[in-house]
Structure 1
Amino acid sequence: MSTSKTLTFSSLAIQKTLKSPSPPFHHITSFSSPFLHFPFLPQRSTSALHGHKPPGASFSTNLAFDSSIDSQEDTVAQILSKPDRIERLMKMQRLKEPGQEDGVTGAGACARRWFPYLDLFRSGEIEVSSKEIIDVLDPYIMEARKERIQRAVSNRTYSLCLVVEGLTDFGNVSAAFRSADALGVQSVHVISCDSSKRYRDNRHVSMGSEKWLDIELWDSPAECFTALNKRGYRIATTCLGPNSVSVYELDWSQPTAIVVGNENMGISDEAIRLSDLHCSIPMRGMIDSFNVSVASGILMHHAVCDRTSRLGRHGDLAPEESQILLAEFYLRHRESTIGILHEYAKRKGHNNVHSFNFGHL
């Protein structure tokens, strides 16, 4: 696990218009894939969905697709202030932090830049690979949603990450997260010494882009920057000063963590002192700063444009990394997908693998 205190994953809002042609249902009658087969207690039949009667199965369960789980409105404040909420959102296993004791290695052990995930999902004692996850879940995610997920993964990078320090307005936090997701920046870090006090009055910012991002929480700039340096990032704080360089003069093809600060006080002295470089957005008017969420969007957008100009594209995941992140996104698609995978792992553990089939998630 990361040396960060807590870890969660976040994401951009999915269009509500992408819905199954048939009405939503709570209990699936049959579950099939190239790997296993078992039925669910019926509420509507699979034959009605697929035009045929599914083959027999060996056991029954009343695993429900509870839409209330997916529609539950967690706020950003709740997610960032409650470790148990954060930890339960983790899907694929994480790579050990650089500098920790040796452990299992995987796609994350990439010398060119950091990638956080192992090709491993654990269900009890059973291990499931990203390929298995994709094979099991792919047939049951709507084509439009799959295409959107695949497009997002192909444009993701861990070479650029966003760090927000001490923000008190969750409107700004949420806007920065949305910009990160929209621009393909997968990793976001939040530094706060007292999140319960900072965030307690911001209870109406609902989950959106947070679902698809990796969000890590830190108690101090020193803790955050130390971990990011070990992962190979240079730390670029946004502030005005004699040593500050224009964002347009930087080479953003290098792994970089962009740090933005508090709405009123800006970047802390500690963060400025511990950073590798200082940068700023040239201002042409009477004021000398942007709103923090606007500044975050401008910085990330320019970094993406610069990376595209230098490298030919922004997304830079290796094929095996893309497969792992695709599996991670499939698992985040709905809470119910975890239940499906646990059932698959149970069957795998009993060495009794068959076919299964049910409608779109």
Structure 2
Amino acid sequence: MERRSILSDGEGDCRGSWFPYEDRFNFGEVHLSSREVLEAVSPHMMEERIDRFKRVVENRSFSVCLVVEGLADFGNISATFRSADALGIQSVHVVSCDSSKRYNGNRHVSMGAEKWLDIEFWDTPKECFEVLKSRGYRIATTHLGMDTVSIYDMDWSCPTAIVVGNEGKGISDEALELSDLCCSIPMNGMVDSFNVSVAAGILMHHAVSDRITRLGSHGDLSESEKEILTAEFSLRHSRSSISIAYEFAKRKRHSASF
């Protein structure tokens, strides 16, 4: 199955305007809509699973995304992914900066969160940030400095990419130079930093909580976007789901030829 994605130009609005999928699932020469995918696959899935997909999609958003830059510990990356999924953040980005140390998932840490997230990989912060800005995100790096803004003083209803950096060195100079603002979690103890996966979890949790306060909910997909993402999840569910959809597409093609 081949999937197509679309990118949104411009700055977007504070409700979030970027959504990566068209309502078009390609199965060879046949295209199915999300409704057709669900028509094909749903009868072969347990109702509990279908209801779970609907609940998850209801609280999903692309308006906040996570970027992990230069993390050395794959366990930390997996832990941030697990938190992103649990909090309803669908889009995550990995900036490796070292092609010899490409991330590969640790399912024992992430609990399989990678399966349900949209993960993009980048070689440099510049490459990543340029694309994110074209999608309407502001880039907020976690960093302590003179111009740092407390996460509690930010309006998280605006599309924002949260960037966390290397466990020891923090955010790279290149990422700092290209970011729109620096933010930090106020510290009240003797230590001045959190573990990176803990910091990412706190940031995402506060972003979601702030969005709920301001907007009434974190999830902000339109009804058509919810249906598309539900269909996407139903195909990620298992290989048999994809096979069932392929058979449905074959029957559609056959009936169209008469």
When the two structures are superposed, what TM-score results if normalisation uses the length of structure 1?
Answer: 0.67
Count of residue pairs the alignment pairs up? 252
Q: 2:164 aligns with which of 237, 253, 260?
A: 260
Q: What SS is found at the alignment partner of 2:140? A: strand
2:167 partner letter: E
1:300 partner letter: M
Query: Any idea what the Cα deviations from partners look like across 1:44-82, whole Å, max 9, x if unmatched?
Result: xxxxxxxxxxxxxxxxxxxxxxxxxxxxxxxxxxxxxxx
Q: 2:74 aligns with which of 170, 173, 198?
A: 170
**CA distance 1:203–1:214, shift in 2 (3 Å):** closer
2:221 partner letter: L
Superposed counterparts of 1:55-70, under 5 Å = none
- Structure 1 residue aligned with 2:145: 241
The alpha carbon displacement at 1:205 in A equals: 5.8
- Structure 2 residue aligned with 1:336: 240
- Find the aligned partners of 1:241 and 1:174 in 2 and give their Cα distance: 28
Task: Report which of the two has the higher share of helix.
Answer: 2
- Find the aligned partners of 2:128 and 2:147 in 1 and give their Cα distance: 22
Q: 1:286 aligns with which of 159, 166, 190?
A: 190
Checking the alignment, whether the CA contact within 8 Å between 1:170 and 1:205 is kept in structure 2 is no
- Structure 2 residue aligned with 1:151: 55
Checking the alignment, whether the CA contact within 8 Å between 2:69 and 2:94 is kept in structure 1 is yes
Superposed counterparts of 1:182-221, under 5 Å = 182-197=86-101, 199=103, 208-221=112-125
Query: Any idea what the Cα deviations from partners look like across 1:84-138, whole Å, max 9, x if unmatched?
Result: xxxxxx8642114649xxxxxxxxxxx9421000001111111110000011111
The structure with the largest alpha-carbon Rg is 1
The alpha carbon displacement at 1:342 in A equals: 1.0
Query: Any idea what the Cα deviations from partners look like across 1:326-359, whole Å, max 9, x if unmatched?
Result: 0000000111111111111111111179xxxxxx
1:277 partner letter: L
* 1:350 lines up with 2:254 in the alignment: yes
- Find the aligned partners of 1:184 and 1:199 in 2 and give their Cα distance: 22
Superposed counterparts of 1:18-167, under 5 Å = 92-96=3-7, 98=9, 112-167=16-71
For structure 1, which segment, 226-235 or 137-146, has the greater mean C-alpha deviation from structure 2 after superposition?
A: 137-146
Checking the alignment, whether the CA contact within 8 Å between 2:151 and 2:184 is kept in structure 1 is yes
Structure 1's unaligned 5+ residue stretches are 1-89, 100-110, 354-361
Structure 2's unaligned 5+ residue stretches are none
2:20 partner letter: P
2:137 partner letter: Y
Superposed counterparts of 1:219-238, under 5 Å = 219-238=123-142
Checking the alignment, whether the CA contact within 8 Å between 2:81 and 2:110 is kept in structure 1 is no
- Find the aligned partners of 2:246 and 2:57 in 1 and give their Cα distance: 24
Superposed counterparts of 1:312-331, under 5 Å = 312-331=216-235
Checking the alignment, whether the CA contact within 8 Å between 1:253 and 1:311 is kept in structure 2 is yes
The alpha carbon displacement at 1:175 in A equals: 0.5
1:122 partner letter: N
**CA distance 1:315–1:166, shift in 2 (3 Å):** same
Checking the alignment, whether the CA contact within 8 Å between 1:168 and 1:199 is kept in structure 2 is no
- Find the aligned partners of 1:174 and 1:320 in 2 and give their Cα distance: 30
The alpha carbon displacement at 1:199 in A equals: 4.8
